[in-house]
């Protein structure tokens, strides 16, 4: 069973013994970041202020007071490592028998970000490029739109319409509400995360991985003591 998280990647940028050469221990900063996100504190400036004012933050920070630039730099520069932390937390939850691996479901919930609307995902980029058999509604649930006639301009949309109307499509799409929607509710209403602080696909991805890892750890703490 995994009892500690692998965090060596956070030290790789420092020469020699990273723990000795880094201005602040990366493991300590990671603990502070995860606890902050699990507590609904996302701004690097607010995290830095909490390290001076909040007892729990001061304990996790071991009496250190990194400024907001240091906190933000760790979050921006280690998106790959944050993805690894999220994966390790999922494996830990599975080994603790707090979750089961199965169907992957997504939801259309939106989180504000400083991003271009042209970067949105199309059906073609999602069903063709990703090699994933997806079941995505073509309109608002409960409101059947007009039939989409076959055309050389909309092959992916037409294929999605046919898939969603099939018995198999209804079978897989049906459980989406209880598989995906509660998690986004927890992120937005329990953690209070409604806007990304970082800009750029890779940095936003790192921030999202951090939020998801924090949510999972918070849920694990509740489930393991209930």
**What is the rounded CA–CA span in Å between residue 180 and residue 158?**
25
**What is the rounded CA–CA span in Å between residue 222 and residue 1?**
19
Q: What would the two tokens of residue 217 be?
A: 């750890």
Question: What sign results for the dihedral spanned by CA atoms 68, 88, 77, 191?
Answer: negative
**What is the rounded CA–CA span in Å between residue 216 and residue 222?**
10
- Please, what is the end-to-end C-alpha distance for the chain in angstroms? 21
Question: What sign results for the dihedral spanned by CA atoms 63, 218, 85, 107?
Answer: negative
Asked if residue 121 lies in contact with residue 205, where contact means CB atoms within 8 angstroms, the answer is: no
Give the up-direction half-sphere exposure of residue 154: CA atoms within 13 A in the CB hemisphere: 11
Q: What is the distance, to the nearest Å, from the Cα of residue 155 to the centroid of all Cα atoms in its chain?
A: 31
SS3 147: coil
**What is the rounded CA–CA span in Å between residue 42 and residue 36?**
7
User: pLDDT below 50 — which residues of the chain?
Assistant: 1-3, 18
Give pLDDT tens digits for 52-100. 999 999 999 998 999 998 888 887 777 777 777 888 888 888 888 887 7
Q: What's the confidence (pLDDT) of residue 2?
A: 44
Give the up-direction half-sphere exposure of residue 193: CA atoms within 13 A in the CB hemisphere: 30
Q: What's the confidence (pLDDT) of residue 27?
A: 81
**What is the rounded CA–CA span in Å between residue 176 and residue 187?**
17
Question: What sign results for the dihedral spanned by CA atoms 60, 65, 69, 73?
Answer: negative
Phi, psi torsion values for 159, nearest 5 degrees: -65, -35
Asked if residue 206 lies in contact with residue 78, where contact means CB atoms within 8 angstroms, the answer is: yes
Q: What's the confidence (pLDDT) of residue 13?
A: 64
- What pTM did the predictor assign? 0.69
Beta strands in 66-153 (DSSP E): none
Q: What's the confidence (pLDDT) of residue 65?
A: 92
Q: What's the confidence (pLDDT) of residue 4?
A: 64
Question: What sign results for the dihedral spanned by CA atoms 178, 182, 183, 184?
Answer: positive
């Amino acid at each position: 069973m995994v009892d500690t998280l692998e965090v060596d990647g956070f030290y790789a940028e420092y020469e020699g013994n990273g723990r000795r050469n880094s201005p602040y221990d990366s493991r300590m900063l990671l603990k502070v970041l995860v606890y902050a996100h699990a507590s609904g504190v996302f701004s690097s400036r607010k995290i830095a202020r909490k390290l001076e004012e909040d007892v729990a933050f001061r304990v996790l920070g071991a009496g250190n007071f990194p400024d907001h630039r240091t906190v933000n730099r760790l979050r921006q520069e280690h998106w790959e490592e944050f993805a690894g932390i999220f994966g390790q937390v999922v494996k830990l939850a599975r080994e603790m028998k707090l979750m089961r691996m199965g169907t992957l479901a997504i939801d259309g919930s939106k989180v504000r970000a400083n991003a271009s609307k042209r970067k949105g995902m199309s059906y073609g980029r999602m069903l063709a490029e990703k090699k994933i058999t997806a079941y995505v509604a073509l309109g608002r649930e409960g409101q059947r739109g007009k039939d989409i006639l076959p055309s050389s301009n909309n092959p992916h949309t037409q294929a999605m319409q046919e898939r969603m109307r099939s018995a198999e499509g209804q079978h897989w799409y049906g459980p989406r509400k209880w598989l995906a929607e509660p998690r986004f509710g927890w992120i937005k209403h329990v953690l209070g995360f409604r806007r990304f602080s970082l800009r750029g696909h890779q940095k936003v991805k790192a921030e999202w991985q951090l939020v998801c890892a924090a949510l999972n750890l918070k849920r694990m703490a509740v489930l393991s003591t209930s």
